[in-house]
Amino acid sequence: MRTTLEIDEKLLKEVVALTKDKNQGRAVSKALKEFIRQKRLEELLALRGKLRLDLDDWYEFRHMER
């Protein structure tokens, strides 16, 4: 999807350098994917100790209809 964004030039250069991707669009996409992955991990870690799953329930849990 093509879109127009105002991105700080220094920030964009750093993203391109860190991703080692010469294409700016791909570099930004990689950075966004990593940001989303990190946020989802944070959400999962926040649930630590709040969910109770017994090992006996794993078989049933894995085979539930989605």
- 22-49 pLDDT, tens per residue? 999 999 999 999 999 999 999 989 988 8
**What is residue 56's DSSP assignment?**
G
Does the pTM exceed 0.75?
no
| Count of structural domains, the chain | 1
**Higher per-residue confidence, 54 vs 14:** 14
Confirm whether 2 is domain-assigned: no
pLDDT value at residue 13: 96
Is the residue at 43 inside a domain?
yes
The answer to whether position 1 is within a domain reads no
Residue 18 lies in a domain: yes
Domain housing 26: 9-62
Q: Is 47 part of any domain?
A: yes
User: Residue 3: inside a domain, yes or no?
Assistant: no
The H-or-E segment that residue 52 falls in is none
**Nearest-angstrom CA–CA distance, 62 and 59:** 5
Q: What angle do CA 20, 5, 18 make, to 5 degrees?
A: 15
